[in-house]
Amino acid sequence: MSRARRRAAAPPAPAGSRSVLAGFLSLLGELLITVGLVLALFVAYSLWWTNVLADRQASARGDQIRQQWQTPGTDAKPAEPGALDTKDGVGFLHVPAMENGEVLVKRGTDPQTLNDGVAGYYTEPVKSALPWDEKGNFSLAAHRDGHGAKFHNIDKLNNGDAIVFETKDTWYVYKVFAELRQTSKYNVDVISPVPKESGKAAPGRYITLTTCTPVYTSKYRYIVWGELVRTEKVDAKRTPPAELR
């Protein structure tokens, strides 16, 4: 007897077996749909809702900083100048090409700090200089996705673009001069006082922006370097430098 005839001659599966199989497939389908929905919600939370929460928190902190700057000091308790390293932040980063508004800058690059929707300056493994230091590298990190994603558009920066840092009394204007689109996350030389991979060989007043790459991963780091070109004193109206108008 041929194989086709044997299959035709075989007795049909019991109705109960077919019912169990159909029930199992239905349950499996429901589970897959549920898992898909959970994953979609998790992605939405990670890439959208954490941005909302971080932006709210960073905005509130930023408002506090600006209020402190406007509060006159007293002999008993002078108002803290913007240049001091306070627990709330040291100033605001403005990068027009990244279209990210103003970014509060705080001390440290640990997740607890950066998850608040801010940029942080390095304290380790290489200690960052601060903009008002005579020489050094003001090195910063921020998230590229989620938790504010303040450096999401870092790839839009080109040589000559402005990076402006604002304190209570001074605008620090930097210009981008080099980038490194992908490097190991263990490459600490990129935040050295003299970042030689940028092409610089002598001490200066540099700024370095670092974040994760490719987008939605943390496998490598994306680096942008700038150099201070001038400073401007903040006037009574707090008029921004030309690069921000």
Residues tagged active-site: 143, 212
Question: Number of helices (H) and strands (E), helices first, in the chain?
Answer: 4, 8
Map tokens 């002598």 to a residue: 202
Residue 225, token pair as written in the block: 């370097």
Radius of gyration over alpha carbons of the chain, in Å?
A: 27
Q: CA–CA separation, 174 vs 159, rounded Å?
A: 11
Positive or negative: CA dihedral 80, 86, 88, 91: positive
Q: Are 138 and 127 in contact (CB under 8 A)?
A: no
Q: Which helix (H) or strand (E) holds 32?
A: helix 15-44
Task: Tell me whether residue 234 is exposed, middle or buried, using C-beta atoms within 10 angstroms of its C-beta: 0 to 12, 13 to 18, 19 or more.
Answer: middle
Q: Are 191 and 139 in contact (CB under 8 A)?
A: yes
